[in-house]
Amino acid sequence: MHEPLAWKNGRETPFSQLALPVWDLGVVSGASVTEMARTFLHQPFRLLQHLQRLEASCAELGFKTPFSVPDLAAAADRLVQENVALIDPQDDLGIVAFVTAGANRTYLGTENLPGGTTVVHTFRLPLELWRSAAEDGVRLTIPRRRQISDSSQPVNHKTRNRLHWWLADNEADAVESGSRALLLDSSGLITETSTACFFAVIGGMIVTPRSQVLNSMSRRIVEEAAADCGLRFEHRDISADEVSAMEEAFLSSTPSGLLRVRSIDRRPIGTLDTRSVIPDLLAYWEKVAGLNPLHQILKRNHPPADVG
């Protein structure tokens, strides 16, 4: 095998041949519910929890798939077994599963519409892309664009309808090259970034937004880690006016783990004297996953020679 395998509607296919028809509502409307897990040391990490969240989101949003959590887990396990042979031993895989809403009636004009598409695929985690952020921290910019309201789209579910994030990140980069967007909601409260949860340490307490954000798997690990380390942790509203009071800030995500926030709107976060909570949190990550994701990123400078 010279290319990764993928899985679509119950059948394996070469990754290069994986495609959605133009009439699929995942293409037409961005109507797709998705999950992303990853491997640590080439073993899937908390895959069932991710797939159970996918199942719950599909049920709540009305997406239908004939495939169960065990079906998707078996497909993912099979792909991982095959596809890890194509990556460097020091690398790991991202594992994506998604379900689309079905067919667009306008395009097909028939009563016998095909159902949605269910896909599982993997990809080599591009660890080298996070090297700079791992070394120097992430620069965030609060753009004018705001987080989508829960009254319009339930943002606690992980979906592919993410145009507002693409626009927000472009706006942030235009304000400060290389920075990423940190969105506020309509009330001026901090929410999240396009790919990560936001945390701040204020008065010795780790705080994270309690509403208008994804029900994040990585945030669950941070909360577990804080409890394991004896660190205070709270879900609460965080005003943009509190940036100046932040002793530390960081982001969490499934692929990269934890990344320090260097600045928000060019305002530096923390000082050289600040004792970071990140090492303690990452020690817990290593305990439950077998690997410290930050150390893994720092060891990877460039992609393998056979990766384009």
Q: Tokens at residue 95, please?
A: 């594992």
**In terms of Cα–Cα distance, which of 137, 127, 138 is closest to 298?**
127
Q: Which three-class secondary structure state does DSSP give residue 296?
A: helix
So what's the pLDDT on residue 128? 95
Residue 265 vs residues 136, 164, 305: alpha-carbon distances, Å: 16, 19, 37
> What domains appear along the chain, each with residue ranges and CATH number?
5-125 (3.30.470.10), 130-298 (3.20.10.10)
Q: What percent of the chain has pLDDT over 90?
A: 90
What is the per-residue DSSP string for 55-109? HHHHHHHT---S--HHHHHHHHHHHHHHHGGGS-TT--EEEEEEEE--B-HHHH-
So what's the pLDDT on residue 23? 95
Q: What is the mean pLDDT of residues 109-132?
A: 93
Say if residues 209 and 238 touch (Cβ distance below 8 Å): yes
So what's the pLDDT on residue 303? 66
Question: Cα separation of 208 and 205, whole Å?
Answer: 10
Q: Which three-class secondary structure state does DSSP give residue 216?
A: coil
Q: In what order do the strands lie in the sheet with 118-124?
A: 11-14, 5-8, 118-124, 93-100, 32-40, 43-45
Question: Cα separation of 270 and 261, whole Å?
Answer: 9
pLDDT in tens, 283-297: 999 999 999 999 999
Residue 26 vs residues 58, 107, 174, 284: alpha-carbon distances, Å: 13, 13, 29, 37
pLDDT in tens, 61-83: 999 999 999 999 999 999 999 99
pLDDT in tens, 122-158: 999 999 999 999 999 999 999 999 999 888 888 999 9
Q: What is the mean pLDDT of residues 259-273?
A: 91
So what's the pLDDT on residue 1? 56
Q: Is pLDDT of 188 > 50?
A: yes
Q: Is pLDDT of 306 > 60?
A: no
So what's the pLDDT on residue 272? 67
